Amino acid sequence: MARGPTSHLGVLVQNKRLPLSLYRVLAYVTGVWLLLLMFVAMPAKYLVGDDAMFSVVAAPAGAEHWFGPESPLMLYIAVPHGYIYMAYVLVVLWLAIGRRWSAGRTVGVALAGTIPLLGFFVERKVARREQDAMDAADAQSAPARTAG
């Protein structure tokens, strides 16, 4: 019997490793966009340019439109970061519900995406712990499948 594209989608959705894989990808993507926001867009808006709120240095000649309160970098970096972070939180919730995390752990992992660099370390710890738990569950269920 040939399998259609919808059956592949069903297998993908039923895969218990999918939330962890999506979490790992979104943790890194969220972390990179957060770094861009904190170290590119925010300084461009608040620190560079004559009309910036905390003007530390003048904007480079000919590039003044990229700096100051009307910096388009906020639009190009902050908005995508916001949408990516929302997807990250939804995937954290999906993973937390599927793995039966406590509320504190769920909130902690979700908030790790708001602190530069912390998200990378938390992702590594969560991925290792969850991968070990999934491998142990697979190993425990494997003898039961072969015995029946």
How is residue 60 annotated by DSSP?
P
Write the pLDDT tens digit of every residue in 113-124: 999 999 999 999
- Crossing angle, helix 18-36 and helix 118-147, to 10 degrees? 170
Does residue 84 form part of some domain? Answer: yes
Does residue 7 form part of some domain? Answer: no
pLDDT tier at 14, thresholds 50, 70, 90? low
Would you say 140 and 29 are in contact if contact means Cβ atoms under 8 Å apart? Answer: no
Does residue 4 form part of some domain? Answer: no
Does residue 131 form part of some domain? Answer: yes
Does residue 114 form part of some domain? Answer: yes
Does residue 46 form part of some domain? Answer: yes
Does residue 2 form part of some domain? Answer: no
Residue 4 confidence (pLDDT) above 60 = no
Would you say 45 and 68 are in contact if contact means Cβ atoms under 8 Å apart? Answer: yes
pTM: 0.79
Q: Which residue type sits at 18? A: L
Higher pLDDT, 63 or 126: 126
Counting the structural domains of the chain, the total is: 1
Distance in angstroms (rounded) separating the CA atoms of residues 123 and 27: 6
Does residue 89 form part of some domain? Answer: yes
Angle 91-95-100 (CA atoms, 0-180°, nearest 5)?
Answer: 145
Write the pLDDT tens digit of every residue in 45-84: 888 877 777 877 777 788 787 887 888 988 999 999 999 9
Q: In the structure, how many helices (H) and strands (E) does the chain have?
A: 7, 0
Distance in angstroms (rounded) separating the CA atoms of residues 102 and 42: 34
What pLDDT is stored for residue 1 in this prediction? 47
Domain that holds residue 129: 18-138
